[in-house]
Amino acid sequence: MMRFAPCLAALLACVLGTAASAQEVRAPRNALYVEMLGPAVLGSVNYERMAGDRVSLRVGLGGIPEIFEVSTTLSAPVLVNLFIGSGEHRLETGAGIVAVYVLPHSDPGAWERVSEPGFRRTELTGTLVYRWQPGAVSLFPGGVFRAGFTPVVRGETVYPRFGFSVGAAF
């Protein structure tokens, strides 16, 4: 029995040490990034939450200021993504919607040129992008870099769009 106790203590220390180190190197579950272009036209700020190792939910908010249009337009992409591959380099595919909302214009005379502000439409969108999310031993630990195809479907028309993103995973 005296020989068994030190062996059990050593085994228990190894198991607890392995469990602690596994928790320290777990993959980040959240990401926050800025996407230029993409489904929100000019760009958007996005939050992403992993729901497992291969699936994530993304919610974003972007806009077009009234200097480009008669009134300010907000776009909110919401997508479910599937990751193909493993490690730092992955293919990200996804599908979702973009809700488009028009804010009131700051110039009261502009109402002659635009219809009433409010919810405009829901567009379908998708992603087919390359994603690089470097690990702890790279030059950019915790970074998120994405680039690829992000088409938008409005009615029966497909608008091909491309986007690229830079952000952080945590």
End-to-end CA distance of the chain: 47
Q: Report all structural domains of the chain as residue ranges with CATH numbers, in order of start.
A: 28-169 (2.40.160.20)
Pairwise CA distance, residues 32 & 136, whole Å = 17
- For residue range 75-126, list pLDDT tens digits in order: 999 999 999 998 899 999 999 999 999 887 666 665 555 556 788 899 999 9
> Which candidate, 169, 113, 104, places its Cα nearest to that of 142?
169
64 confidence band (pLDDT: 50, 70, 90): confident
Phi, psi of 18 (to 5 degrees): -65, -40
Compute the mean pLDDT over every residue in the chain, rounded to the nearest whole number: 84
Pairwise CA distance, residues 167 & 164, whole Å = 10
Q: Tokens for 110, please give them.
A: 């502009």
Q: Is the pLDDT of residue 18 over 50?
A: no
